[in-house]
Structure 1
Amino acid sequence: MFDYIRFPLKLTFSVLSAMVIGFYLNLEMPRWAIMTAGIVAGGTAFAAGGDPYSGALRYRGILRIVGTFFGSVAALTLIIFTVQAPFLLMLLACIWAGFCVWLSSLARIENASAMATASYTALTVIVTIQSSGHLVLAPIYAIERCSEIVLGILCTMLADLIFSPRSIKQAIDNEADSLLVMHYRLLRICVCQHDREEVDAVWAELVRRTHTLRNMTDQLRLESSRWSNACQRLSAIQDLSLTLITHAIEIFLMQRDTSGVIPLQYSLLFEKEAKGVNDIHSSMKVLRHILTTADSGSKPVMLSRWVGAATEYLLLLNGVKSNARIFTLEKDILRREVVKSTRSAETRHAMINGIRTFLATATAALFWLYTGWTSGSSCMILLGVVTALAMRSPNPLAVAKDFVYGMTVAAPVALVIYTIILPATQQSMTLLCLTMGVVAFVCGLFLQKRQLGTMGAFAGILNAVTIDKPMAFHFSVFLDNVLGQIIGSCLALAVILLIPDNARKHTGRKILNRLMYSAISALGSDKSRRHRNHLPAMYQQLGLLQNLFPQDINKYRIALTLILSYQQFTTISVQDSQALSHLRSNLRVIARRLVSADQPPQRRESFTRLMSELKDYLTGSPGQGGEQSLHQKLERMVVLLEQYEDSFIYI
């Protein structure tokens, strides 16, 4: 029962503590502290689908503090240089908002809140100063805005410490165990040649759960520094998980193309299904003994690699559970490879998000300044908040709809609170706390269920009731706030609908080309290049491809084949001749040019030249020893590229 009401209690404590401290410190507008506490706590829970674990909320709070300072400094800078030109000032504020949303769309999603906060903070400061007509008070207002937001975030962090002392560590231990059991299941169905659909379903689930484990590790890292050793091991476990997936799929494809790759005596070992980590540990002992005593000619190399990676997984898993110091053998595993990072493939998506934000805010700003609309300031502020929060989310349209529905529901609720309940509580701080506490608690119950419209309704109620010091109940001000909120959220939804995001095909093509470049970059004898581990970045791009094209199985198979080609190329020793080295260098240059090409004719030219160079390389390689194995695998990749040529040029 307490787990169910933990988050509503935390949200209630955050809002009430921010309100009480704000009144005690005589802040000019304590409602900003209240709204910040509610949005930071409520938004994190709404995104997580429940009460977040310890650490996640504090990290986002710190990012919002940083973003608030950046936005306030930007607002003051713009006001200083354009104080005599209000139209230019508002135009630059809208450009700043679009720029920050563009940057937040390129950043990792857990780090995007800093730039999103900087976006609407600058817009809020400039709009409020512009509507009041007292530009000389801009520095004072910016300082007050920062202090109120910091107060709200600190109250949220305090509530998180009191009501959410639970750690994500136990959940990570269970997830790492079940992930290894699922890896063993994938190996069984690959060795025993089950249906392709079952293999696709299991490996897709493994990729998803590996990314989930990575996100959980990030939360554990934020929770406390005492988990640093466990986090290092978990990072290596995630890379090993991707390696195990690749080896298993390679076994499946080789078993399908060449029967008997895995001898019958090994296949019989996988008849029994593993129910837990202890069963897998016992199976690994048997497999290691058999593989060690077997002749080199009859030993299945791919199975040996899988067993080796699984053994390292088990070793690191014991260290994760104990959180003991890292031993020498574990250090060798952790230092073995350098993980290669990659830039975001959503560059066009980020540009569209920035354009959407700029056009929405600029249109509203011009209309407000031209007509003197009394609800214009409230509309501008909410428009900046909605666009900043919606554009970085995986589904901007759903977030915009949430605010539209929420603001519509918030209007009658806020009307009752503002006109009937709040005036009756002015002689008692206890009654005021009771009123706002009930609102926060009820909204908290719906927020952790991710009920559509709840986040927008909660933010709308907190903003519409305008808890300031001293409290002044002017119905015209309330009406302006409510109308501005509703119209601003509707305008944000209209902009998202009118400016469609057509970057999906562009992003999909760029992902496939980057995967192809990573596979080609594995060709060669340069140890420093082959030492870099591209698998985490490649699987991250594969996950993005799954989100963009959830029903297109062909794209998954193209991407997975390229990942397998990369893994195979890194394990093959090739000749270090000058002629072949020059050909491999040309291949990397042309592949990089194909990735960066913007127009279809340029991509067509680069792709045609790449195919010609690949065929020249196949002709020039001797086809003996390691080169023979490379020759066969490279031929398969050339056939794949030719078969899906349009996917690398036009998609």
Structure 2
Amino acid sequence: MDAFAISRLHLRFAIKLACAVVLALFVGFHFQLETPRWAVLTAALVAAGPAFAAGGEPYSGAIRYRGMLRIIGTFIGCLAALIIITSLIQAPVVMLLVVCIWAGFCTWVSSLVRVENSYAWGLSGYTALIIIISVEHTPLVAPQFAIERCSEIVIGIVCAIVADLLFSPRSIKQEIDKELDSLLVDQYRLMQLCVAHGDREAVDKAWSGLVQRTTALEGMRSNLNMESTRWMRANRRLHAINTLLLTMITQACETFLVQNTRPEAIAPAFRELFAEPVETVADVHKRLKHIRRVFSWIGGGGTPVTLYSWVGAATRYMLIRRGIISNTRISAVEEEILTGETVVRPESAERHHAMVNFWRTTVSCLLGTLFWLWTGWTSGSSAMVMIAVVISLAMRLPNPRMVALDFVYGMLMALPLGSLYFLIILPATQQSMLLLCISLALLAFFIGIEVQKRRLGTLGALAGTINVLVLDNPMTFKFSSFLDSALGQLVGAVLAMMVILLIRDNSRERTGRTLLNQFVSAAISALTTNRARRRENHLPALYQQLFLLLNKFPDDIAKYRLALTLIIAHQRLRDAPIPNNDDLSAYHRQLRHTADRVISAGSDDKRAQRFQQLLDELAIYQEKLRNWDAPRQVTEPVERLTSILNKYKHALTEN
């Protein structure tokens, strides 16, 4: 995209943000809301948040989805605040303690749920805190305050959505269509590298890039699902496309790894089939037709299983890709592909990280409460609210320290910017609603451009400036109140950052080990004769965990290779013709139970003991397979898995 197009999109979103702010301001004053700034602040954050995350104008549906999450989080927070107040109205200190624990609990939950839904839980934590702090001296007005806050927030969200619809939001459909074509070509090139058994670093770079792009495509699917109901068929197909892409990556990498120990596994004739370079989807389609004819002539027995499976997945991919691009009715063949397997959801490996987030939020809120009660500062409540906001929003992001730093810079920028508006611009616009709207529109416009560039401090400056301006009804201009509020915000942001720095998150190594043990457990779970369990598709969950491993350890290629090897082992065992008898079925349950106990072990000693038990049981299982005359397609992958677990025993059991 050229510079002109980028600047045009930046300007369009800046106008959209200014429109949302002005619309919320106008509605707030027109309907005589008690505190119109909550509506204005909500409209600004709902619109600007997705733009800051995307680094540009968000796609259609992102603002609506964030708005719905904010409504849900606000209602949960308001309900929790009312329950806490009615239960503990006679003990104010205990009430503050409980709401601090509630904020920590919400942060803990937000660390375990899907990233796109975590915003609602984080918001519900500090919403309850805001309500209780605001009515701490007059708790009887809490229901009225909660209703007013919900109403103002809903108005702000509606204004943001209306502004988004007025300025023709970007559809992500064209980007998905282009990415589908590009992914198919790159998948074929990865298979070429693996069949040729080329440079290992080139293969690592290619497959890790495809894993990241496949994960990004799944995020695009979520955006398309939020955009409109007319994309429901495309959404179903994209869900299946995700599995097919991951299957192709797995089969290609297995083709490479098999040749490490058995170079003769891929005959020269098959290497020649994949030798011709491809540039477009048409080239891939032409090559696949030729390869399928060769495979049908050779027969399934003479074709390497990884190549045969890869070509089958690529063929199904092309069929579903055409349906996504055209968005036509789902055919019977497509329906069979879409309903063929049950996708398993991944279990969170970040439970220790979530507990660290709980303590960070709870401790920071308690420190803010003690600071407020000890100093008696009138704006101590503002500091406490800012602590809860920063901690709750920062904890789910990969780098909480940078988020806290963004808020600190934002509050510093809000001090002079807010002073300019509070002392000069707003008093001069009191006689004209039009001038007031224009002044705030200019503020939102220029910050909206910088937000899309991810300038450090811009999002915090937008929120901090709007919050310190007295956009109440009627408006008053007491400089002491303004200064107290601005300093309270700054102190709260600084205290929150101090807590993040002092309470270190030491969960990285533990999370990595847990992820690797979950890969082991998934491979063990494939040892089953139960038809329903064999139909379960673990690939999306496994690759989601692999993507988390990539984020946690960006430079540790050994961990990626081990994880990928375990994923390949899972797929091979899942397709293995295991003899169906009661003896093996009972032992499968024992193996799964032991693998789960390895993950849940609380210490290195217990983990090492249970892992050794798992290795001993696998040795017994191999003996049982020999006694029951299991075919080579079963005994070979089990032996390979046992060898891998023995080789990487220390990496899987020690911190």
- TM-score, L = length of structure 1: 0.98
Distance between the aligned counterparts of 1:254 and 1:284, measured in 2? 22
1:124 counterpart (130, 137, 151): 130
Q: How does 1:442-457 map to 2 (within 5 A)?
A: 442-457=446-461
2:614 maps to 610
Q: Quickly say closer, same or farther: Cα 1:578–1:465, change in 2 above 3 A.
A: same
Distance between the aligned counterparts of 1:636 and 1:300, measured in 2? 18
Return the offset for 1:84: 2.4
1:210 maps to 214
Q: Quickly say closer, same or farther: Cα 1:390–1:69, change in 2 above 3 A.
A: same
1:97 maps to 103
Residues 348 and 503 of structure 1 are in contact (CA less than 8 Å); yes or no, is this contact kept in structure 2? yes
In the alignment, is residue 493 of structure 1 matched against residue 493 of structure 2? no
What do residues 404-444 of structure 1 show as CA deviations (whole Å, max 9, x unaligned)? Answer: 11111111111111111111111111111111011100000
1:372 maps to 376
Q: How does 1:359-508 map to 2 (within 5 A)?
A: 359-508=363-512
Return the offset for 1:625: 7.7
1:66 maps to 72
Residues 103 and 361 of structure 2 are in contact (CA less than 8 Å); yes or no, is this contact kept in structure 1? yes
Q: How does 1:17-56 map to 2 (within 5 A)?
A: 17-56=23-62
Residues 233 and 334 of structure 1 are in contact (CA less than 8 Å); yes or no, is this contact kept in structure 2? yes
Residues 284 and 307 of structure 1 are in contact (CA less than 8 Å); yes or no, is this contact kept in structure 2? yes
In the alignment, is residue 557 of structure 1 matched against residue 561 of structure 2? yes
Q: How does 1:123-272 map to 2 (within 5 A)?
A: 123-130=129-136, 133-272=137-276
Cα RMSD, aligned residues only? 1.3
2:646 maps to 642
Return the offset for 1:384: 1.3
Residues 30 and 468 of structure 1 are in contact (CA less than 8 Å); yes or no, is this contact kept in structure 2? yes
What do residues 509-547 of structure 1 show as CA deviations (whole Å, max 9, x unaligned)? Answer: 111111101101111322111110111100100111111
Distance between the aligned counterparts of 2:41 and 2:470, measured in 1? 10
2:13 maps to 7
1:312 maps to 316
Letter in 1 for 2:499: V
SS at match of 2:85: helix
Return the offset for 1:297: 4.3
Distance between the aligned counterparts of 1:501 and 1:451, measured in 2? 26
Distance between the aligned counterparts of 2:411 and 2:264, measured in 1? 64
SS at match of 1:13: helix
2:552 maps to 548
Letter in 2 for 1:364: G
What do residues 123-178 of structure 1 show as CA deviations (whole Å, max 9, x unaligned)? Answer: 11111112xx3222211111111111111011001111111432111111111111
Stretch deviating more after TM superposition (256-265 or 460-469):
256-265
Stretch deviating more after TM superposition (15-24 or 413-422):
413-422
1:509 counterpart (483, 500, 513): 513
Letter in 2 for 1:547: N
In the alignment, is residue 599 of structure 1 matched against residue 603 of structure 2? yes
1:571 maps to 575
Distance between the aligned counterparts of 2:582 and 2:28, measured in 1? 72
1:323 maps to 327
Runs of 5+ consecutive residues of structure 1 not aligned to the other structure: none
Runs of 5+ consecutive residues of structure 2 not aligned to the other structure: 1-6
Distance between the aligned counterparts of 1:220 and 1:297, measured in 2? 42
2:307 maps to 303
Distance between the aligned counterparts of 1:296 and 1:276, measured in 2? 28
What do residues 206-240 of structure 1 show as CA deviations (whole Å, max 9, x unaligned)? Answer: 11011100010011011111111111111000000
Residues 22 and 30 of structure 1 are in contact (CA less than 8 Å); yes or no, is this contact kept in structure 2? yes
Return the offset for 1:106: 0.9
Q: Quickly say closer, same or farther: Cα 1:208–1:296, change in 2 above 3 A.
A: closer
Letter in 2 for 1:99: F
Residues 418 and 473 of structure 1 are in contact (CA less than 8 Å); yes or no, is this contact kept in structure 2? yes
Q: Quickly say closer, same or farther: Cα 1:243–1:626, change in 2 above 3 A.
A: farther
Return the offset for 1:301: 2.3
Distance between the aligned counterparts of 2:25 and 2:292, measured in 1? 63
Return the offset for 1:647: 2.0
Residues 622 and 628 of structure 1 are in contact (CA less than 8 Å); yes or no, is this contact kept in structure 2? no
- Equivalent residue pairs, number: 649
Return the offset for 1:578: 3.0
Stretch deviating more after TM superposition (492-501 or 165-174):
165-174
Residues 346 and 545 of structure 2 are in contact (CA less than 8 Å); yes or no, is this contact kept in structure 1? no
Residues 105 and 353 of structure 1 are in contact (CA less than 8 Å); yes or no, is this contact kept in structure 2? yes
Return the offset for 1:623: 8.3
SS at match of 1:622: helix
Distance between the aligned counterparts of 2:288 and 2:240, measured in 1? 19
Distance between the aligned counterparts of 1:584 and 1:418, measured in 2? 70
Stretch deviating more after TM superposition (377-386 or 242-251):
377-386
Return the offset for 1:637: 1.7
Stretch deviating more after TM superposition (268-277 or 354-363):
268-277
Distance between the aligned counterparts of 2:398 and 2:323, measured in 1? 35
In the alignment, is residue 536 of structure 1 matched against residue 540 of structure 2? yes
Distance between the aligned counterparts of 2:322 and 2:48, measured in 1? 36
Distance between the aligned counterparts of 1:143 and 1:575, measured in 2? 63
Return the offset for 1:629: 2.9
Letter in 2 for 1:503: S
Return the offset for 1:249: 0.5
Residues 190 and 203 of structure 2 are in contact (CA less than 8 Å); yes or no, is this contact kept in structure 1? yes
Distance between the aligned counterparts of 1:136 and 1:578, measured in 2? 66
Distance between the aligned counterparts of 1:527 and 1:337, measured in 2? 11
Letter in 2 for 1:354: F
Residues 579 and 628 of structure 2 are in contact (CA less than 8 Å); yes or no, is this contact kept in structure 1? no
Distance between the aligned counterparts of 2:545 and 2:489, measured in 1? 37
Q: Quickly say closer, same or farther: Cα 1:326–1:136, change in 2 above 3 A.
A: same
Return the offset for 1:296: 4.5
SS at match of 1:279: helix
Q: Quickly say closer, same or farther: Cα 1:310–1:624, change in 2 above 3 A.
A: farther
2:585 maps to 581
Return the offset for 1:374: 1.7
Distance between the aligned counterparts of 2:533 and 2:86, measured in 1? 50
Letter in 2 for 1:422: L
Q: Quickly say closer, same or farther: Cα 1:473–1:256, change in 2 above 3 A.
A: same
Distance between the aligned counterparts of 2:605 and 2:472, measured in 1? 61
Return the offset for 1:309: 0.5
Letter in 2 for 1:152: G
Distance between the aligned counterparts of 1:135 and 1:253, measured in 2? 66
Residues 49 and 450 of structure 1 are in contact (CA less than 8 Å); yes or no, is this contact kept in structure 2? yes
SS at match of 2:456: coil
In the alignment, is residue 353 of structure 1 matched against residue 330 of structure 2? no
Stretch deviating more after TM superposition (54-63 or 268-277):
268-277
Residues 18 and 152 of structure 1 are in contact (CA less than 8 Å); yes or no, is this contact kept in structure 2? yes
Return the offset for 1:20: 0.5
